[in-house]
Structure 1
Amino acid sequence: MSGPLLELQAVHKRYGSGDAVMHALRGVSLRIFPGEFLAVMGPSGSGKSTCMNILGCMDQPSAGRYWFRGVDVGGLSRDQRTLLRRHYLGFIFQGFNLLNRTSALENVEMPLIYRGMPAKERHAAALQALDTVGLRGWERHMPNQLSGGQQQRVAIARAIVTRPLLLLADEPTGNLDSQRSREIMQLLSAFNRDLGITVVMVTHEADMAAYAKRVVLFRDGLIAQDGAENGTC
């Protein structure tokens, strides 16, 4: 597609009402094109995580519009938004969010179960995803038998096993040491470069943001700086 993969137009997000209202987003407009690797930065409370939740269809704007592949997400039902997440989006979280009593392989298979993929096919796809993140031979290990870096690799394998168009990563290196963080960022860069997956990553760390092709800075619910506008992406 030649147009943007996703677009926010004058998006506001408010919580509460009256004197207690809190404006998390104050009219954010943003266009992200297929194949971009974008880092979203900003201090706590700046609106970056709220924006990520809206992009991931886990929250809805109070005002404004969100388009995904030209479709107005605000016009979709809850079930349709669930299907959009299931078929087009992958998620990576700071806390890994693995099922503790489930093997690495079974954790990676989970999104494919929701898709209704037959057991043999999803088993093969999950093995391939684990191999892609360098965990061949670890598929039967439980999360408590894996290091933090290995657990995050399982979480990444789970996110890419469906071959999403958009990968949303919320502080993916926040719980890792420097070496493991670099390894994870190299993986994300490879998925973006070699598979064409669009990556949007929230991070507080400038050295992690340096892996991105474009950096967007949030402040007080607004975009304060966008690398696309400055010619740096």
Structure 2
Amino acid sequence: MQQQKEPIISLSGVVKSYGSGEATTYALRGVDLEIKQGEFVAIMGPSGSGKSTAMNIIGCLDNFSSGEYTFGGVDVGELSLNQKTLLRRNYIGFVFQGFNLLSKTTAIENVELPLLYRGFPAHERSELAMKALRSVGLEHVSHHTPGQLSGGQQQRVAIARAIVTDPFILLADEPTGNLDTVKGKEIMDLLSAFNKEKGLTIVMVTHENEMAAYASRIIRFRDGKIDNSLHVEKN
């Protein structure tokens, strides 16, 4: 899989439905979406609009019912379950609202986990994990457990874990949802820096307009469809 000028993410007529016949319900109703390499996209919409379903499909955490989804030119719909797991593990980083850190494991050990799953040797895992922690300003707490860290620090560790494998794309699901405004802005400044300075492609689900304003494009979902797409002008 190689980097290219074509969209890294392409959804065409993607439908996600549950049930059958008259009991069929639709989470997505024919979504068309392209995300190019280096973009910072915010996905917004009311509860039940389909934004989280779209995020889960992009992250290969959920299957779609019909349509086409390509990732880096690869037809995801044609991949086996194991191939989707490998795609997710090797090319996608995840940041969640709840941090999802192992409570009895140190910060550096949490960051090492994706490298462990990919079979990196111990010394290389440690070096790369420390580099990732340094990039989020937390090398000094590398041996602290999550319980010894603030919420903002825990989310920074989660970001370090997400970027330690140098993913093609970072998916962030309400990354500031459990943080106060000040800490939330710190996290958004960090994500914005990764996007601008390293060219990291970011797709973020958020309900906060203030956080969405950091993105270069805002996509709004309503009733399982894209309501509109707005480019945010930067000074």
Which category describes the TM-score, using the shorter chain as reference length? over 0.9
Measure the CA separation in 2 of the matches of 1:18 and 1:157. 45
Corresponding residue for 2:90?
Answer: 87
Q: CA deviation at 1:210?
A: 0.2
Q: What corresponds to 1:74 in structure 2? A: 77
Instruction: Please name the residue that 2:123 is paired with.
Output: 120
Q: Which amino acid aligns with 1:222?
A: K
SS of residue matched to 2:100: coil
Runs ≥4 residues deviating over 3 A: none
Distance in 2 between the 1:190 and 1:132 partners? 10
State the distance in 2 between where 1:150 and 1:137 align: 11
The unaligned stretches of length 5 or more in structure 2 are none
Matches within 5 A, 1:115-154: 115-154=118-157
Separation in structure 2 between the aligned mates of residue 141 and residue 193 of structure 1, nearest angstrom = 29
TM-score of the superposed pair, with normalisation by structure 2: 0.96
Give the whole-Å Cα distance in 2 for the aligned partners of 1:137 and 1:92: 21
Describe how 1:53-72 pairs up with structure 2 within 5 A. Answer: 53-72=56-75
Distance in 2 (CA, whole Å) between partners of 1:211 and 1:160 is: 19
Structure 2 residue corresponding to 1:170, chosen from 173, 178, 189: 173
1:232 positional shift: 5.6
Deviation at residue 181 of structure 1 after TM alignment:
0.3
TM-score, reference length from structure 1? 0.97
Q: Supply the distance in 1 between the matched residues of 2:148 and 2:21 (Cα, whole angstroms).
A: 50
Write the mapping of 1:99-114 to structure 2, written as runs, cut at 5 A.
99-114=102-117
Q: Distance in 1 between matches of 2:212 and 2:28?
A: 22
2:7 aligns to what SS in structure 1? coil
Distance of 1:20 and 1:149 partners within structure 2: 43
In structure 2, the residue matched to 1:22 is 25
1:181 aligns with 2:184: yes
Cα distance in 2 between the residues matched to 1:22 and 1:144 = 41
Rounded to whole Å, the distance in 2 between the matches of 1:123 and 1:17 is 49
Letter in 1 for 2:115: L
Q: Tell me the distance in 2 between the aligned counterparts of 1:134 and 1:220.
A: 40
The answer as to 2:209 corresponding to 1:206 is yes
Cα deviation digits, residues 206-230 of structure 1 (max 9, x gap)? 00000000000000000000125xx
SS in 1 for 2:15: strand
Report the AA paired with residue 149 of structure 1.
Answer: G
Deviations 1:168-224 (A, max 9, x none): 000000000001000000010011111111000000000000000000000000000
Number of aligned pairs? 231
Give secondary structure in 2 for the equivalent of 1:227.
strand
Q: Once the 2 structures are TM-superposed, how far is the Cα of residue 2 of structure 1 from its aligned partner?
A: 1.5
Q: How far has the Cα of 1:136 moved from its partner?
A: 1.6
Letter in 1 for 2:47: S
Distance 1:90 1:223 in 2: 24
1:217 aligns with 2:220: yes
Per-residue displacement from partner, 1:88-114 (whole Å, max 9, x unpaired)?
100000000000111101000000000
Give 3-state SS (helix, strand or coil) of 1:4's partner. Answer: coil
Q: Distance in 1 between matches of 2:158 and 2:19?
A: 33
- In structure 1, runs of 5+ residues without a counterpart are none
